[in-house]
Every structure is written in C-alpha cells, then in structure tokens.
Amino acid sequence: MVFNTGAALLDAIVLAVVSTEAEGTYGYKITHDVRQAIAVSESTLYPVLRRLQKEECLEAYDREFAGRNRRYYKITDKGRAQLRLYREEWISYSSKITRIFSEVKC
C-alpha cells in the first residue's frame, strides 16, 4: 500500500480486530487479521498491543494451548469507548476523502 498507516489508525484496527472475539484473541491471530487490511509485522504489532494494554484499552491473560501458554488480549470498556471514537472519526474522514476522489477527472 502506498499510504502510510499512522499510530491512531493502527490502534483502531487492532481494537476492532480484538473486539470481534468476546473472549479475546491471541497475538498471532491478531497479526493475521490486521494483515487483511494493512501490511504489518509482528515486531510492529506487539508494541501496539502492549501500549493498548498499558492504556487500559486491552487486558491480557494467558491460556494453555497445546501444552504451552498463549497470551490472549481482550478489549476493555475503555477500549470499546476508544474504538467508538475511532470509528466515528474514520467514517467522517473516509467519507471526505472518498468525496474528493470521486470528483477527480482523470
């Protein structure tokens, strides 16, 4: 993709992905799901998860899977409120950009 992804957009995408699973989801699956929208490496994503956890938008817990612990992330109420804000801003922003692009005469 030719457009840079800012931190706020990446936060919004991560919160949206995590919010789809009531019991939370684990890092590798989050990475896979985020990559459906944007190119992101695990080394970029895990600091985002830790930051969102520190900001109390996500909570983390471990669950055993195949004899090992797997770290799961679950969206908090604060994270849901932040996601709603991001979603409202995105709808407004993207509609303005779409309108401008639709007026282009190539």
Q: What is the pLDDT of residues 31-40, one digit of tens each?
A: 999 999 999 8
Residue at 45 is within a domain:
yes
Residue at 2 is within a domain:
no
Residue 13: pLDDT above 90? Answer: yes
The larger pLDDT score, comparing residue 29 to residue 66, is at 29
Structural domain of 65: 7-102
What Rg, from alpha-carbon coordinates, does the chain have? 16
Cα–chain center distance at 34: 7
We report the CATH number of the domain holding residue 68 as 1.10.10.10
- Domains of the chain: total: 1
Which amino acid, residue 50? R
Residue at 38 is within a domain:
yes
Residue at 94 is within a domain:
yes
